[in-house]
Amino acid sequence: MQSIFSSPNPVLFGSGTSGQTGEKLRELGCTKVLVVFDKGIKAAGIADRILDIIEASGIETVCFDSVLADPPDWSVEEAGALGIREGVDGVVGLGGGSSLDTAKAAKLLLTNPPPISQYFGREGVKTVESKPLVLIPTTAGTGSETTPGGVITDTKNNIKTNIAGTGCKVDLGIVDPELTLKLPPSITASTGMDALCHAVESYTSQRANSFCELTARQGIKLVGKYLEVAYRDGSNLEAREGMMLAATLGGISMSGPLCHLAHDIGKVLGAKFHIPHGIGCAFCLPQVLEVIAPAVPDKVRYVAECFGAGIPDNAGAEEIGRSACEAIKELMGRIELPNLRSFGVTRQELLAVVPEGVKAQQDGLVKLFGQGTSPVPATIELVSEIISRAYDEN
Amino acid sequence: MQSIFSSPNPVLFGSGTSGQTGEKLRELGCTKVLVVFDKGIKAAGIADRILDIIEASGIETVCFDSVLADPPDWSVEEAGALGIREGVDGVVGLGGGSSLDTAKAAKLLLTNPPPISQYFGREGVKTVESKPLVLIPTTAGTGSETTPGGVITDTKNNIKTNIAGTGCKVDLGIVDPELTLKLPPSITASTGMDALCHAVESYTSQRANSFCELTARQGIKLVGKYLEVAYRDGSNLEAREGMMLAATLGGISMSGPLCHLAHDIGKVLGAKFHIPHGIGCAFCLPQVLEVIAPAVPDKVRYVAECFGAGIPDNAGAEEIGRSACEAIKELMGRIELPNLRSFGVTRQELLAVVPEGVKAQQDGLVKLFGQGTSPVPATIELVSEIISRAYDEN
């Protein structure tokens, strides 16, 4: 058994830690930082709170306040250009995955020439490290603050792809559960499912290793314990802390083993239909658990049991798979996760993503549909069957 | 609750992985590397095996084959000077903690001027990152391949101190349990106790956090399951893999929360009497568990139960502490760990280390005796009592 224990970035975790943002930026030598966020974070008052904290440490701020979901290449290039124009010596990302990944790209572009597309999907590409990057998640989902790369939409090919490498290295994640206290229930639900997918998929990845298994199991257990509680009572700090830790552990567990079927399908849906990332990824999770059960029955059993499934000791892989599928479907019902029909996507449009994804993969634009990570062979037929069943059943 | 999730270095873990050393060095861009090891590794044939693997990838090697235990400042400076003289573009450390830490210092000195003493004990000191460093442990103990710093003996002050920072950053750890298959039982025992101390002390550190607790608990459980097996049958690969994973997890868990009483006492013993590190650190572990039980009873109970102690549910902290103390003493008996009397150290000599350690701490040379990490106040009286009892009882 071989495994890569990937290096999570340093993370400062705990309620109230975002109050140290200015101090930490000063320790990193910053005097003027680009702060990257979106309109929602501005409206929630979180951006102003963090800007005040940074400025109170005598650090100037420049705002890029127009992050877009599934950040398009041209948008992250605008963020990078603003940073260069303003001569910043640091970047702060504040928000969900889109804001954190835009901040990663902006840091990269401070010292590596545009276009961003030349750094897509190629972990081997050499980029120069630039100024410090601090990431502050405001959802318990993305885990981007712990991972070595970012997800950007390649608008030429209409696909979500990756940037990675030293050029977008995260110097510090500041993970403050208090920032999630006012998240609306629907965002708590969808981002929480993203965290769950990270943990479940890396745990069951072909590349899973002992370190990933340890962090993923704890992440899955925490989602089982706290997602519904946080969904029903957003002000429950214990549940918010539990979910934030689950998201952090999910990010750590996927760094290396990566995700597979559910996530890769979710990414295609994100690029094509702008389905929120967590919903897109969760969409097929019940069926994915069912089809992978014969390959990793004990792991699927663990997941199912964390969500309350009672499975007899002598159950076979099929029964375990069915129980896991049902347990996750029930969870998705309880947290009222929208299905794809509610986004107006037809079955036909949905199934059309499969050949498009396959082509993108063949063109080397992305690793898709669990190639090299899914515990069962990720054939076109299997992916189509999973999507089709998820559309009908979930 | 706040916590720093420290960043373990990337680690390639698994039986047979050392066969990839040449390939990995090539990926890191190396053409000529300094390989750092000691006479024992040479005699065991491991050095030649790894040198062959590196050279088969077309990479030149230069050997520094005279690593000393508790590596003295002047010795690591020799290693660094050899690397500069030979114009190497990478460093490989191969062996136990002393070899890995010598390699860290040698890397640091490739691009940061000597003497090494100017980088001692000051995590804030800025050092320039130089050429890639790959560490290959041959014992299941040190965990140095996962930690951000190294332990060097300051011969001017006769104390073990630290180097840290980007200048000695580890680019890759290659952790191959097969390399430990021929370790003699006494080394298996002492290095295994080092791994246990890392996990137990960071788990019970004041600075322990959720991430440390997760990795430490698994490390402790694995030592409980596999140390005696590996000691009795060195050729048992499952036990060797379990212990290697425990050592890796112990290294990860202590990165940030650090160790406390047992380790800090062990470091003083190492510098003063050249007691092997694992034996020095384990020396007081039973009594340390007993004295910290009132502060962290549930954690001490967990440790005791991993070593077979049966503790009633309603037991108080004192009873838990006594059980843990006994359980670890029994383990040390079963793996025939030598006590300090067998090294010819007298009680008086031993107790004299306390004021010396306190002075070194006051002089700012080291953090000692659990300052800021011990879960109970680490007074001079308490440290003396622990040492005294350990000398009589263990």
HSE at residue A344, side-chain half, CA atoms within 13 A, is 3
Length in residues, chain A:
394
pLDDT digits (tens, 9 = 90+) for B3-13: 555 556 788 88
Q: Which of B6, B13, B133 to mutate to test the interface with A (most CBs of A within 10 A)?
A: B13
What is the pLDDT of chain B when averaged over all its residues?
A: 92
Mean pLDDT of A279-295: 96
For chain A, percent of residues with pLDDT exceeding 70: 96
Nearest by CB: A13 against B3, B10, B11 = B3
Cis peptide preceding B137, ω within 30 of 0: no
Distance from CA of B79 to the nearest CA of A (A): 28
Contacts of A215 in chain B (CB under 8 A): 214
Q: Which of A4, A5, A209, A240 to mutate to test the interface with B (most CBs of B within 10 A)?
A: A5
Identity of the highest mean pLDDT range in A231-245, A256-270, B163-177, B372-386: A231-245
For the cut 50, the answer to whether the pLDDT of residue A1 exceeds it is no
Mean pLDDT of B339-343: 89
Contacts of A218 in chain B (CB under 8 A): 214
A377 to A261, A268, A373, B34, B265: CA distances (angstroms): 10, 19, 9, 43, 54
How far, in Å, CA of A247 to CA of A253, rounded?
A: 10
Inspect the interface and report whether the beta carbons of B14 and A7 lie closer than 8 Å: no
Inspect the interface and report whether the beta carbons of A17 and B2 lie closer than 8 Å: yes
What is the pLDDT of chain A when averaged over all its residues?
A: 92
How far, in Å, CA of A159 to CA of A366, rounded?
A: 8
For chain B, percent of residues with pLDDT exceeding 70: 95
DSSP state of B53: H
Contacts of B146 in chain A (CB under 8 A): 5
CA nearest A210 in B: which residue? B245
Identity of the highest mean pLDDT range in A246-260, A273-287, B295-309: B295-309
Contacts of B15 in chain A (CB under 8 A): 1-2
The torsion region of residue A257 among left (phi > 0), alpha (psi -120 to 50) and beta comes to: alpha
For the cut 60, the answer to whether the pLDDT of residue B242 exceeds it is yes
* Structure token digits, residue B42: 């040479």
Instruction: Kindly give, in sequence order, each residue whose CB lies less than 8 Å from that of residue A110, ignoring residues fewer than 6 positions away.
Output: A80, A83, A84, A88, A91, A130, A131
Inspect the interface and report whether the beta carbons of A14 and B1 lie closer than 8 Å: yes
A346 to A2, A337, B78: CA distances (angstroms): 42, 18, 70
Inspect the interface and report whether the beta carbons of A3 and B13 lie closer than 8 Å: yes
Contacts of B2 in chain A (CB under 8 A): 12-17
For the cut 90, the answer to whether the pLDDT of residue A83 exceeds it is yes
Q: Which of A26, A123, A210 to mutate to test the interface with B (most CBs of B within 10 A)?
A: A210
Inspect the interface and report whether the beta carbons of B13 and A5 lie closer than 8 Å: yes
Please name every residue paired with B174 in a beta bridge, in sequence order, or none if there are none.
Answer: B12
Q: Does residue B366 contact residue B360 with C-beta atoms inside 8 Å?
A: yes
DSSP state of B41: H
Looking at chain B, list the stretches that DSSP marks H as alpha helix, in order from N- to C-terminal side: 21-27, 39-43, 46-56, 73-85, 97-111, 185-203, 210-232, 237-254, 261-273, 277-282, 285-292, 297-306, 317-334, 347-351, 353-362, 380-393
Q: Does residue B143 contact residue B152 with C-beta atoms inside 8 Å?
A: no
pLDDT digits (tens, 9 = 90+) for A103-162: 999 999 999 999 999 998 766 678 887 799 999 999 999 999 998 889 999 999 888 888
Inspect the interface and report whether the beta carbons of A11 and B4 lie closer than 8 Å: yes
For the cut 80, the answer to whether the pLDDT of residue B2 exceeds it is no
Residue B364's identity, in one-letter code, is: G
- Look at A84-93, A173-182, B183-192, B357-366 and tell me which has the smallest mean pLDDT: B357-366
**Cβ density class B238-253: b for 16+ within 10 Å, e for less:** ebbbbbbbbbbbbbbb
A182: pLDDT confidence band, cut at 50, 70 and 90?
very high
Q: What's the pTM value of the predicted model, to 2 decimals?
A: 0.84
Q: Does residue A118 contact residue A76 with C-beta atoms inside 8 Å?
A: no
CA nearest B218 in A: which residue? A214
Selection from B356, B363, B359, B361 nearest residue B371 by Cα: B361
Inspect the interface and report whether the beta carbons of B12 and A3 lie closer than 8 Å: yes
* Structure token digits, residue A360: 């993108």
Nearest by CB: A4 against B6, B10, B252 = B10
B130: pLDDT confidence band, cut at 50, 70 and 90?
confident
Q: Count the Cβ atoms, other than its own, within 10 Å of residue A96.
A: 29
Mean pLDDT of A59-71: 96
Indicate whether this complex's ipTM tops 0.90: no
Which position has the higher pLDDT, B162 or A21? A21
* Structure token digits, residue A292: 């992978």
CA torsion angle for B186, B190, B193, B194 (degrees, to 10)? Answer: -150
pLDDT digits (tens, 9 = 90+) for A332-373: 999 999 998 899 999 999 888 888 777 777 776 666 677 788
Instruction: Kindly give, in sequence order, each residue whose CB lies less than 8 Å from that of residue A263, ignoring residues fewer than 6 positions away.
Output: A197, A198, A201, A281
Distance from CA of A12 to the nearest CA of B (A): 5
Domains for chain B: give ranges and CATH numbers. 11-179 (3.40.50.1970), 181-393 (1.20.1090.10)
Inspect the interface and report whether the beta carbons of A6 and B1 lie closer than 8 Å: no
Inspect the interface and report whether the beta carbons of A215 and B210 lie closer than 8 Å: no
For the cut 50, the answer to whether the pLDDT of residue B289 exceeds it is yes
- Per-residue pLDDT at A11: 85
pLDDT digits (tens, 9 = 90+) for B30-66: 999 999 999 999 999 999 999 999 999 999 999 999 9
- Per-residue pLDDT at B302: 98
Name every residue in A having a CB less than 8 A away from some CB of B.
Answer: 1-17, 146, 209-211, 214-215, 218, 241, 245, 248-249, 252
Task: Show the CA angle centred on residue A100, arms to residues A95 and A104, nearest 5°.
Answer: 155
Q: Does residue A370 contact residue A357 with C-beta atoms inside 8 Å?
A: no
Inspect the interface and report whether the beta carbons of B5 and A3 lie closer than 8 Å: no
How far, in Å, CA of B149 to CA of A342, rounded?
A: 53
Inspect the interface and report whether the beta carbons of B7 and A5 lie closer than 8 Å: no
Pairing of strands B32-36, B60-64: parallel
- Per-residue pLDDT at B1: 43
Selection from B286, B108, B94, B311 nearest residue B197 by Cα: B286
A264: pLDDT confidence band, cut at 50, 70 and 90?
confident
Torsional sign, CA B316, B318, B324, B327? negative
Distance from CA of B123 to the nearest CA of A (A): 13
Mean pLDDT of A386-392: 94
How far, in Å, CA of A346 to CA of A341, rounded?
A: 7
Inspect the interface and report whether the beta carbons of A3 and B16 lie closer than 8 Å: no
How far, in Å, CA of A299 to CA of A281, rounded?
A: 19
SS3 B161: strand
Q: Which of B172, B207, B211, B222 to mutate to test the interface with A (most CBs of A within 10 A)?
A: B211
Inspect the interface and report whether the beta carbons of B11 and A4 lie closer than 8 Å: yes
Please name every residue paired with B164 in a beta bridge, in sequence order, or none if there are none.
Answer: B149
Inspect the interface and report whether the beta carbons of A2 and B13 lie closer than 8 Å: yes
Distance from CA of B172 to the nearest CA of A (A): 10
Nearest by CB: A10 against B4, B173, B248 = B4
Q: Count the Cβ atoms, other than its own, within 10 Å of residue A380.
A: 12
